[in-house]
């Protein structure tokens, strides 16, 4: 049997910067002679984030819908099992922003479809400016850190020195043995694991460890799901073909508090020939706009994620957004 393939789970709350970090890691891995494969899980439309990683990975598998720790777990495990890998490969799984990593790590450890991989590393991405500003879901952000083997602090350029120190102290208290990384240091460590794994024996299947597969299936089917008690919802809406930046910013300011994140693709009247990726992460941070240089395969659209999102409320707001552009011209 071939050597196990390194497996990395990327976790982090909504908008922490997981996909942005992947855009940095993947080219660096390729430069190190490592062949990265990516599985993306997201609410509503994982194809949107996949657009941002086109040509950066050897394979890219989007899984849309519920978290891969529960509702979409068979899709994840089948994707891991069927991936076409070789001795240069690593696998990175970006989980949705509402994942329960504890459940997912147990799944990746026990399910026989994952025995071709090493035991997973968990790289938790923490938003330095947004840490513990999630109101009703701060507990979930903490839970996504407690099982981490590696920690990356994103949006550090937006946070003060005092806040950075506070965040590092709080996170280190939660997970004292995790390694704090930079993109370069993590790529080097992952490449070293890829080289070392060639000398490791394959992982034992649960059956080889005297654990009957039937028992494994029962334990997985009865995993506790504390995050399921907190209802998250998502929706995708089409945007007008062209809007103004001002109108979209005003739209963000009027979103109900139940919306925790909005992201998507827009064409601004200020730059009608180009597409812009936008990202809004709660009331504590300004919107982020980034040009999208290649031509996307999707039309202008928006994905909203939050708790008990009302579709009629959002759809009425989209109508007002469409009406705002002609008035602003």
Domain assignment present for 1? no
- The residue segments making up the domain with residue 63 are 7-227
* Longest CA–CA separation in the chain, Å: 71
Q: What is the pLDDT of residues 189-237, one digit of tens each?
A: 999 999 888 777 666 544 444 333 333 333 333 334 444 444 566 677 8
Q: Are 262 and 144 members of one domain?
A: no
Phi-psi region of 231 (alpha: psi -120 to 50; beta: other; left: phi over 0): beta
Per the structure block, which two tokens stand in for 4? Answer: 């196990």
Task: Quickly state the pLDDT bin for 170 (edges 50, 70, 90).
Answer: very high
Q: Are 259 and 198 members of one domain?
A: no
Q: Are 204 and 235 members of one domain?
A: no
Q: What is the pLDDT of residues 80-116, one digit of tens each?
A: 999 999 999 999 999 888 778 888 888 888 888 988 9
- Residue 3's SS3 state is coil
Q: What pLDDT, on a 0 to 100 scale, did the predictor assign at position 231?
A: 57
Domain assignment present for 33? yes
The mean pLDDT of the chain is: 79
Sheet of strand 275-280: strand arrangement = 233-238, 301-306, 259-266, 275-280, 288-292
Torsions phi, psi for 42 (to 5 deg): -155, 160
Angle at 92 between CA 89 and CA 93, to 5 degrees: 145
Segment (H or E) for 5: none
Higher pLDDT, 24 or 14: 24
State the average pLDDT over residues 301-306. Answer: 78
Q: Are 259 and 122 members of one domain?
A: no
State the average pLDDT over residues 24-42. Answer: 92
Q: Are 169 and 214 members of one domain?
A: yes
pLDDT above 50: residue 264: yes
Work out whether the CA dihedral 239, 240, 242, 243 comes out positive or negative: negative
Q: Are 56 and 80 members of one domain?
A: yes
Interatomic CA distance for residues 32 and 30, integer angstroms: 5
Residue ending a domain, choose from 227, 255, 270: 227
Share of the chain above pLDDT 90, in %: 28
Residue ending a domain, choose from 190, 211, 227: 227
What is the CATH number for 19?
A: 3.40.50.300
Q: What pLDDT, on a 0 to 100 scale, did the predictor assign at position 94?
A: 92
Per the structure block, which two tokens stand in for 176? Answer: 């004292």
Region of poorest pLDDT, from 24-38, 76-90, 194-208, 305-319: 194-208
pLDDT above 50: residue 311: yes
State the average pLDDT over residues 162-187. Answer: 95
Share of the chain above pLDDT 70, in %: 77
Per the structure block, which two tokens stand in for 286? Answer: 């300004």
Q: Cβ of 214: how many Cβ atoms within 10 Å?
A: 9
Q: What pLDDT, on a 0 to 100 scale, did the predictor assign at position 262?
A: 83
What is the CATH number for 318?
A: 3.30.1220.10
Domain assignment present for 2? no
pLDDT above 90: residue 287: no
């Amino acid at each position: 049997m071939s050597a196990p393939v390194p497996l990395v789970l990327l976790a982090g709350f909504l908008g922490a910067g997981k996909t942005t970090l992947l855009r940095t890691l993947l080219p660096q891995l390729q430069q190190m002679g490592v062949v990265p494969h990516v599985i993306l899980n997201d609410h509503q439309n994982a194809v949107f984030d996949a657009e941002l990683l086109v040509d950066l990975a050897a394979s890219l598998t989007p899984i849309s819908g519920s978290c891969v720790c529960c509702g979409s777990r068979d899709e994840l495990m089948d994707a891991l099992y069927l991936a076409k890998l070789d001795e240069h490969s690593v696998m990175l799984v970006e989980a949705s922003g509402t994942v329960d990593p504890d459940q997912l790590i147990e799944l990746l450890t026990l399910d026989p479809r994952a025995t071709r991989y090493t035991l997973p590393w968990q790289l938790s991405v923490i938003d330095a400016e947004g840490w513990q500003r999630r109101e009703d879901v701060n507990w979930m952000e903490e839970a996504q850190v407690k099982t981490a083997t590696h920690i990356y602090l994103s949006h550090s350029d937006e946070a003060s020195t005092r806040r950075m120190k506070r965040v590092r102290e709080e996170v280190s208290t939660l997970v004292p043995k995790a390694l704090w990384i930079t993109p370069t240091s993590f790529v080097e460590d992952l490449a070293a694991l890829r080289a070392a794994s060639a000398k490791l024996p394959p992982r034992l299947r649960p059956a080889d460890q005297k654990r009957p597969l039937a028992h494994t299936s029962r334990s997985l089917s009865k995993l506790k799901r504390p995050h399921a008690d907190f209802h998250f919802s998502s929706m995708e809406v089409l945007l007008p073909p062209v809007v103004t930046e001002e109108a979209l910013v005003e739209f963000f300011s009027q979103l109900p508090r139940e919306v925790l994140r909005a992201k998507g693709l827009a064409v601004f009247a200020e730059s009608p020939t180009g597409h812009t990726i936008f990202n809004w992460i709660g009331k504590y941070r300004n919107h982020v706009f980034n040009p999208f240089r290649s031509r996307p395969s999707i039309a202008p659209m928006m994905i909203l994620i939050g708790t008990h999102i009302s579709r009629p409320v959002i759809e009425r707001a989209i109508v007002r957004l469409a009406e705002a552009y002609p008035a602003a011209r």
